[in-house]
Amino acid sequence: MASPLNPADQALADRLPPGVLRPVTPAYLEEPRARYQGQAGLVAAPRTTEEVAQIVRACGAARVGIVTRGGGTGLVAGQVMPDGPAPLVLSLERMTALRGIWPEENVLVAEAGMTLQAVRDAAEAQGRLFPLSLASQGTAAIGGCLSTNAGGVTALRYGTARALCLGVEAVLPDGSVVHDLKRLRKDNTGYDLRDLLIGAEGSLGIITAASLKLVLPPPNTGVAMLQVPSPEAALSLLALAERLMAGGVTAFELIGGEGLAFLAETLPEIRQPLPGAAWSVLIEVGLPQGLPADAALEELFEAALQQDLVTDGVIAQSGQQAATFWHLRENIPEANRRIGAVASHDISLPLSEIAGFIRDAGQALAARADVRVNCFGHLGDGNLHYNLFPAPGRHRAEYDDQRAALSLLVHEMAVARGGSFSAEHGVGRLKVAELERWGDPGRLQAMRAIKAALDPLGIMNPGAVLSQATG
């Protein structure tokens, strides 16, 4: 270690397994949106599940909080603890083994520190697909994907991370280990701890490994970008596609015109097949042998034209062209970053409420503030990234005093329609107040009871998901 430890950290360090400590470097204390600055008394990078358990027991004895860190790509500050006594940051960077792969079972067992991309690559090497797909997959760890129940662009077909996990190995707050890396599709033997740990954002235990579902890649895949006259039309197009394709729609992404404008402004090298479209969708299908994807997309396009659901469209004629469509979609967040958001919202809505929400929220915001709205996202899941940007020529800092009120407005309008203030990013520390405000009281009470039962000392990611006064 570069500098001497304070006595309390030194006492804890002496109880840790040998060789696990790492220097406390800035990389362990950051989150991508740079709103929170983390802190750490110690950083430990265990090599085995038993070392994780030893660290947890030592932290329990010392009453030191643990912030578990995978790839550090989370967007709600679950991976950084800015306030309170400095925690131990437990990094999973050394637990990156592929424990096994059973291609004939479509199962893979990965340690939690393996990146999502590495999991996908391991599956692909055996002719399989691990379908979870996120922009950050080169860095995001699979343990973090599970702890936050990550979503991404294929959840419409394959579900969120939760739906792709058969079982977990995890260390609980008392240092005990749950061994549940089953390779079974059905196992009704008691309470579903797996799904309790998935989405708990490290506040109930540390997922150290997971048994994951693989799928066979569909024989025929295709991608199209289709211009639609309105969000209503996009939803009707989705319904039409689902009716024709029998589960074959893999992704259905809504792209608002502001997103295309931001791309044109900040990343002009990205080719736009439908420049200026006020609303467009990117659709990917994966179909059986015997049904060419371009023919199926052509048929969809013709049927949609007849119903006035599309006004223009391009069907990718090659895998390369399909990749350029996806490249466009995946660079919208980067364009957003370059413009500089006033406020970002990861909301979900019942499908039949989406069009009304987009209309009403747009009007309400226009009446309140001089902002541009970039609304895009996973329409098939009802999941919108509804982000606000400065008017042309203005800077995000000029909106500092409006930001909270604008976010409250967006969240309130979503919740009033039966929606969620966090569709796929989680609660972390960013949305603890939102959960307390809009969470069902009965559900919150049960969450607090479970937290107190499993983590009576409150050492697991203190302050994440639930505020620390869990009485």
Site for a second copy in 394-453 (CB under 8 A): 418-427, 431, 434-435, 438-447, 449-453
Q: Could you say which of 192, 265, 370, 398 contacts a second copy (CB under 8 A)? A: 192
Q: Between residues 173 and 390, which has the closer beta carbon with respect to a second copy? A: 173
**DSSP states of 309-347:** --SEEEE-SSHHHHHHHHHHHHTHHHHHHHH--SB--EE
Q: Could you say which of 288, 340, 362, 392 contacts a second copy (CB under 8 A)? A: 288
Q: Could you say which of 239, 323, 391, 433 contacts a second copy (CB under 8 A)? A: 239
Using CB under 8 A as the binding rule, whether residue 204 contacts a second copy is answered as yes
Q: How far is the CB of 104 from a second copy (least distance, A)?
A: 5
Q: What share of the chain is helix, strand, coil (3-state, %, to 5)?
A: 35, 20, 40
Q: Residue 466 is encoded by which pair of tokens?
A: 């639930």
Q: How far is the CB of 287 from a second copy (least distance, A)?
A: 6
**Which of the stretches 80-88, 133-141, 152-160, 365-373 binds a second copy when contact is defined by CB under 8 A?**
152-160
- Residue 3's identity, in one-letter code, is S
The Cα 268–Cα 331 span in angstroms is: 11
Q: How far is the CB of 420 from a second copy (least distance, A)?
A: 4
**Which of the stretches 2-10, 65-73, 245-253, 403-411 binds a second copy when contact is defined by CB under 8 A?**
245-253
Q: Residue 163 is encoded by which pair of tokens?
A: 């739906």
Q: Between residues 273 and 382, which has the closer beta carbon with respect to a second copy? A: 382
Stretch 367-386 residues interacting with a second copy (CB under 8 A): 378, 380-383
**DSSP states of 194-211:** HHHHTTSTTSS-EEEEEE
Q: Could you say which of 15, 35, 63, 179 contacts a second copy (CB under 8 A)? A: 179
Q: Between residues 9 and 201, which has the closer beta carbon with respect to a second copy? A: 201
Rg (CA), the chain: 23
Stretch 298-317 residues interacting with a second copy (CB under 8 A): 299
Q: Between residues 258 and 424, which has the closer beta carbon with respect to a second copy? A: 424
Contact 329, 253 (CB under 8 A): yes
Q: How far is the CB of 239 from a second copy (least distance, A)?
A: 7
Q: Between residues 87 and 218, which has the closer beta carbon with respect to a second copy? A: 218
Q: Between residues 249 and 260, which has the closer beta carbon with respect to a second copy? A: 249
What angle is formed at CA 381 by the lines to CA 359 and CA 367, rounded to 5 degrees? 20
**DSSP states of 143-202:** HHHHHTT--BTTHHHH-SGGGGEEEEEEE-TTS-EEE-----S---SS--HHHHHTTSTT
The Cα 235–Cα 313 span in angstroms is: 16
**DSSP states of 259-299:** HHHHHHHH-TTS--SSTT-SEEEEEEEEE-TTS-HHHHHHH
Q: Could you say which of 149, 336, 344, 461 contacts a second copy (CB under 8 A)? A: 149
Return the closest-CA partner of residue 39 out of 78, 91, 85: 85
Q: Lay out the site mask for a second copy across 117-146 (x = CB under 8 A, - = otherwise).
A: ------------------------------
The Cα 357–Cα 355 span in angstroms is: 5
Return the closest-CA partner of residue 194 out of 151, 146, 159: 146
Using CB under 8 A as the binding rule, whether residue 350 contacts a second copy is answered as yes
**Which of the stretches 15-23, 113-121, 212-220, 365-373 binds a second copy when contact is defined by CB under 8 A?**
212-220
Q: Could you say which of 248, 273, 313, 458 contacts a second copy (CB under 8 A)? A: 248
For the sheet with 66-69, list strands across it: 21-22, 42-44, 88-91, 66-69
Using CB under 8 A as the binding rule, whether residue 107 contacts a second copy is answered as yes
Q: Residue 93 is encoded by which pair of tokens?
A: 């960077």
Return the closest-CA partner of residue 256 out of 324, 152, 354, 133: 354
Q: Could you say which of 26, 290, 393, 471 contacts a second copy (CB under 8 A)? A: 290
Using CB under 8 A as the binding rule, whether residue 215 contacts a second copy is answered as yes
Using CB under 8 A as the binding rule, whether residue 184 contacts a second copy is answered as yes
Stretch 43-102 residues interacting with a second copy (CB under 8 A): 102
The Cα 120–Cα 208 span in angstroms is: 18
Of the CA atoms within 13 Å of residue 109, those in its CB half-sphere come to 15
Q: Between residues 39 and 220, which has the closer beta carbon with respect to a second copy? A: 220
Q: How far is the CB of 370 from a second copy (least distance, A)?
A: 31
Q: Could you say which of 352, 359, 362, 416 contacts a second copy (CB under 8 A)? A: 352
Q: Could you say which of 81, 198, 206, 283 contacts a second copy (CB under 8 A)? A: 198
Using CB under 8 A as the binding rule, whether residue 151 contacts a second copy is answered as yes
Using CB under 8 A as the binding rule, whether residue 261 contacts a second copy is answered as no
Using CB under 8 A as the binding rule, whether residue 319 contacts a second copy is answered as no
> What is the number of residues in the chain?
471
Which residue in the block uniquely carries the two structure tokens 């950051």? 30
**Which of the stretches 59-67, 83-91, 218-226, 337-345 binds a second copy when contact is defined by CB under 8 A?**
218-226
Q: Could you say which of 4, 14, 18, 189 contacts a second copy (CB under 8 A)? A: 189
